[in-house]
Amino acid sequence: MAKPGLDGHDRGARIVSMGLRDAGYEVIYTGRRVTPAQIVSIAVQEDVDLIGLSILSGAHMPLFAKTLELLAEQGAGDIPVFGGGIIPPDDADRLKAMGVKEIFGPGTSLPTILAALAKHLPDDETE
């Protein structure tokens, strides 16, 4: 789970991270104000199964695009990317067309997030 760009609001990302951890996921939270290059480097080094980006700053289009681009360059384009934050529906559709698997808006329940993410993981990932 990462907070790319200059967005300093991380309450939602921390809540989702804790919820995923409590549901049995191993979570690496990179913290705030990381670059797409840092996110991809950590993801490759840690051999992650999913990448979550939380963005409230309005910079979601370029930050998601750069993250997906760098993942592909590193041969890690198969890692599913999901996102959350303040993302308008039209932009969410554009992000999904770019390859983002799921977009979760404010107030999305943890069970909804868990059900959606489970579709993108092997069956044994949360055991």
Domain ranges of the chain: 3-118
Q: How far is CA 63 from the centre of its chain?
A: 11
Give the pLDDT of the chain (127 residues) as one tens digit per residue: 898 877 778 888 999 999 999 999 999 999 889 999 999 999 999 999 999 999 988 899 999 999 999 999 999 999 999 999 999 999 999 999 999 999 999 999 999 999 999 999 866 554 4
Q: Please provide the CATH number assigned to the domain covering 3-118.
A: 3.40.50.280
pTM above 0.85, yes or no: yes
User: Which CB contacts under 8 angstroms, 24+ apart, belong to 26-35?
Assistant: 27/1, 28/1, 29/1, 29/2, 30/1, 30/2, 30/3, 31/2, 31/3, 32/3, 32/7, 32/8, 33/3, 33/4, 33/5, 33/6, 33/7, 33/8, 34/2, 34/3, 34/4, 35/4
Cα gap 9→76, rounded to integer Å:
28
Q: Which one, of 50, 45, 47, lies nearest residue 17 by Cα?
A: 50
